[in-house]
Structure 1
């Protein structure tokens, strides 16, 4: 058995180490999960670099989410899960880039047996983030417009799929034409390759309509352009960032149009939402994944021994899908 550890904060190419793992004694609320698959996410790399919202004491296991099968339980409460397939939630109390993972019962949820394990492994973070972005911040009605940048990302593609199921329209912003075609193929209603005059591009794409919701994954000047296109009391949510640029909204939009700019981090929702809400959210998403209505493209899978190649592949800017670890 082996696991990947973060040994120092820095470049993911240099800060990870594959080490033998031993399973600690299980507490009464613990279970042991034999992993099937675990994605490599940008948030994992941000954690490795020391820029994420959690800073574990090093060396530390790494990997935010994954899917596997429960093979042992430390107490009676976990016994019914033995033999069941579960997803590990991104509480960051354990790492998922490992052959086996010891975790608390509260950090897992059982999932359907008929789902693709690669898609199930990616269920806890990106589909859940997309679903909650569309549900939690403003009341949306069929026909409303939702804008998103980084629309070709995993979260972006999930937003597009979920928006279509709700009858919403999406205005999708990307940085290159190849990404634009991928978003069109995924069902995006309007797609913009961001140019020098983004406000004019947004206005042209909306053709007189206004945004109900804008979703920002990059920060920077684009935040002001998205906010300016919102309707009265529209909402802009920043849920990820790729630079340290401070996002800003113009005072005119804040005051005269009463727009709201807020943030979202899935881990906060997992920490504060009622357990029934968490279970219902993932039950809904699990059904959509199992029936093929929600899927994230996969670029490649790797074994843990090949983690150097996996990391390099995941850091490639022109990737067209996710990179995952798979396990025996």
Structure 2
């Protein structure tokens, strides 16, 4: 088998190596997945840089999610999965940037046989994050507004699409006009290219309405502007960051509008949610992805031995979609 390993914490363009080795022996609870596709995500880069929420002992396999088919099992627990197509959950107990992945049977969810493997490979992180952000933090009714920055990101586009299916309205904020059209195409009701007076832009776009939920993927001063647009006891959730600038909500909004600011990390949900909830969530999203109702733009695919080019491409600002490894 071939797999990418993190050999040192630092620049992803310099910290990975391609290893070729026999497939490892399988434990009683293990299965072997022959991979079809695996995305390259910002969270993967953050892990390689040493700034993620966990820091594995090196050398360590890398890659958070992917799709493939189970070809072997080490014991009775995984035998029923042999031959099934599965998505690998981002528990980070295994790496998915590999042509074969050995992991516990509990780290996968079997899915439908149909559907684009590239879209299915991206199912475990971004669609799941978007779905849970809309479900877990506040009660939203049809017609309520959801505001989000980084609206052109994979999670952002999934939020817009899922919110539209639920009858919610979305206000998407982007940094470049070139990124705005993809958010409009996804179904956002309003799209703002952030300018010098973002609070005024938000107020104008909402035209007297208030946000029920705000979603933050950048941190920094924009958090305060989103929080100020929330209704009484509205919620703002930070689920990603691009800088070390701390997110802040103004004391006026915290006290007088009783705004709640919290965080979300998908791995915590995977660790603590009931197995039935996890499987039900992924099966719901699998149906939407398999039928094409939910999708994320793809910019390019690469073979595993082209990892230098793949990493460079994925780290290029202004990409038009995701970068993935594919395997045959």
Q: TM-score, normalized by length of structure 1?
A: 0.99
Match of 2:156 in 1: 156
Structure 1 range deviating more: 204-213 or 16-25:
16-25
Match of 2:323 in 1: 323
**1:289 Cα deviation after fit:** 0.5
RMSD, aligned α-carbons? 0.5
Runs of 4+ in structure 1 deviating by more than 3 angstroms, as ranges, are none
Match of 1:61 in 2: 61
Q: How does 1:110-189 map to 2 (within 5 A)?
A: 110-189=110-189
CA distance in 2, matches of 1:214, 1:174: 14
Cα offsets for 1:123-153 (capped at 9, x unmatched) = 0000000000000000000000000000000
3-state SS of paired residue (2:80): helix
CA distance in 2, matches of 1:21, 1:200: 58
**1:21 Cα deviation after fit:** 2.8
Match of 2:274 in 1: 274
Cα offsets for 1:46-90 (capped at 9, x unmatched) = 000000001000110000000000000011111111011000000
Cα offsets for 1:92-143 (capped at 9, x unmatched) = 0000000100000110000100111100000000000000000000000000
Match of 1:240 in 2: 240
Cα offsets for 1:212-246 (capped at 9, x unmatched) = 00000000000000000000000000000000001
Cα offsets for 1:160-211 (capped at 9, x unmatched) = 1000000000000000001011111111110000000000000000000000
Match of 1:290 in 2: 290
3-state SS of paired residue (2:5): strand
CA distance in 2, matches of 1:324, 1:62: 13
Cα offsets for 1:6-37 (capped at 9, x unmatched) = 01101111011111133221111100000000
Match of 2:261 in 1: 261
Whether 2:195 is the aligned partner of 1:205: answer: no
Match of 2:32 in 1: 32
Match of 1:104 in 2: 104
Number of aligned residues: 328
CA distance in 2, matches of 1:35, 1:22: 15
CA distance in 2, matches of 1:22, 1:189: 52
CA distance in 1, matches of 2:277, 2:183: 30
3-state SS of paired residue (2:130): helix
CA distance in 1, matches of 2:2, 2:73: 20
CA distance in 2, matches of 1:35, 1:91: 17
**1:261 Cα deviation after fit:** 0.1
Match of 1:225 in 2: 225
Cα offsets for 1:295-326 (capped at 9, x unmatched) = 00000000001000000000011101000000
Q: TM-score, normalized by length of structure 2?
A: 0.99
Match of 1:74 in 2: 74
3-state SS of paired residue (1:241): coil
Structure 2 stretches of 5 or more lacking a match?
none
Match of 1:308 in 2: 308
CA distance in 2, matches of 1:181, 1:302: 26
CA distance in 2, matches of 1:19, 1:78: 26
